[in-house]
Amino acid sequence: MTDERQSRRTFLLGVGASTAALVGLTAGQSFELLAPFNLFAPRVKGDGPQMLPVNRTAAQAGVVDLAGDPSWRLRVEGARGSIKLSREDLTRMPQSDAVLPIACVEGWSTTAHWRGVRLADLLVLAAVDPDRDVRMESLQPRGAYRTTTMPPHYAWDPLTLVVLELNGQTLDADHGYPARVIAPGRPGVLQTKWLSVIREEPE
Ligand SMILES: Nc1nc2c(c(=O)[nH]1)N[C@H]1C(S)=C(S)[C@@H](COP(=O)(O)O)O[C@H]1N2
Ligand SMILES: [Mo]
């Protein structure tokens, strides 16, 4: 690698973009080098808070007050009962990392470093049936993307996270604070932000 390329990559990864770990995780991925030449993309890596484009902001979704409310709880419902977890409860659980893209149909895809609680761990806590679909609901009062239904294959994937941190920082309001989902191999539209309820779908 030439010095010029090396410095460009270092620049792209961002001065405040934390950690040697992130550099290590993304090293060798060609999109880092191609991004600056993709002049016609509506959004490119680096746009938006935490180096990730925003599809719909918290204000546009009408969730600013609910998302910032300290009495927020994530409800996880199984057939036999439900649990409620504060953000602090979630941060005290074992945390996992995943490097996964958001791929939006609007024409951008950006890989990011996600950290949070494995969805599978929450499903176990609420005794969710591993054969059932899982439904995620957002704090967002209306709009096509406020809920998603996730088949068990994705829900129990160890890389599927209820995300609390993005690129080394507390998840930004526009990216889904207090918590959002990220799952491998799902279109961006299904990566629900501002989670409120996760529940086992009835038969
Ligand atoms: N609640 C909610 N979640 C949502 C959306 C939304 O409008 N509302 N947009 C989706 C779409 S289309 C995309 S591409 C991703 C974008 O996530 P980001 O804004 O954090 O990059 O969020 C998804 N999750
Ligand atoms: Mo999207």
pTM over cut 0.85 = no
Q: Assess whether the previous peptide bond of 70 is cis (omega < 30° from 0).
A: no
Q: Output the pLDDT for position 3.
A: 55
Q: Domain residues of the chain, as ranges?
A: 2-37, 49-200
| Per-residue pLDDT tens digits for 32-88 | 444 444 444 444 455 799 999 999 999 999 999 999 999 999 999 998 889 999 999
Is the domain spanning 49-200 CATH 3.30.70.870? The answer is no
- Per-residue pLDDT reduced to its tens digit, 17-33: 443 344 344 443 444 44
171: how many CB neighbours lie within 10 A of its CB?
A: 25
CA-nearest residue, atom 5 of ligand 1: 145
| Ligand 1 atom closest to residue 140's alpha carbon, by position in its atom list | 1
- The number of the ligand nearest the C-alpha atom of 148 reads 1
pLDDT at 79: 85
| 3-state SS, residue 166 | strand
